[in-house]
Amino acid sequence: MKKLKYIGLTFDLGINSEEIRAFRYAFSKEIQEGAEYFHHHLEDGSKRFRYPLAQFNTKDEKAHLVCLEEASDCLLSHIGNPPLYIDFHGKRRELNIENMYLKPIVIQVWDEQVRYRLKNWLPLNSKNYEMYFKTYSLKARVEMLERILVAHIINFAEGIRYTLESPIKAVIEDIRKERWINYKGIKLYNLDIDFSVNMTLPIDVNIGKLASIGYGTVQKAVIKEPITKVH
């Protein structure tokens, strides 16, 4: 079990999904102490590859930011006093908080499965892309996605320094939507899924590829209505 430091902020800045990267850039430029949590570039220009503790997104068409562990402490030291200003789309503007969730979240592995929804998940990389699309069995594809999902959840656990007490089991219950997106001129396979896992996951946290900019967002499960048979 681990008590995860968690802060979620929704700002008064209206943005869409295509503006998340611009928002992250504008925000991270204003952070002095702890700036390394808010972007993945090192001083020499190379990239830092690790699970992101600061994750930028949209929520209700507004700019949204989730910070975990050390990044949450850093964020709290920068908001409120003095006011935070950013340069966004060529304009200097004050960034006001509309909603804030600040509460430790207990992360734990359970004996039973917990249901979630995962939005804008990018499961495939250059190594498993070809294997996935050369697999014609739906069952085999789902099993492959479940293994990738487990790996992404383990990566989250490692990123927050949580030692798993027992193995993780993830079950994909429904592939709700599949689409292709364009990212820096590259087409990426993108999924919305319903799944269950024997572990607590924080709502609005991102897992998997490009987790720092709004992909792989964990959401509450939507309770499905029972199917009514028509006689």
Q: Is 2-102 in CATH node 3.30.310?
A: no
Beta carbons of 121 and 215 less than 8 angstroms apart: yes
Q: 49 pLDDT band (50/70/90 cuts)?
A: low
Q: Where in the chain is the domain with CATH 3.30.70?
A: 2-102, 110-220
CATH class of residue range 110-220: alpha beta
- Residues 145-191 pLDDT 10s: 999 999 999 999 999 999 999 999 999 999 999 999 999 999 999 99
Q: Taking the model in full, what pTM does it have?
A: 0.91
Distance from C-alpha of 84 to C-alpha of 80, rounded to nearest angstrom: 7
- Alpha-carbon span 6 to 53, nearest angstrom: 10
* Degrees to nearest 5, angle at CA 101 with 97 and 107: 150
Distances (CA, A) of 14 to 17, 67, 184, 227: 10, 20, 23, 38
Tokens of 208: 């998997």
Query: What pLDDT digit, counting tens, does each position of 84-123 carry?
Result: 899 999 999 999 999 999 999 999 999 999 999 999 999 9
Asked if 66 and 7 touch (Cβ cutoff 8 Å), the reply is: yes
User: CA-to-CA distance for 29 and 118, rounded, in angstroms?
Assistant: 30
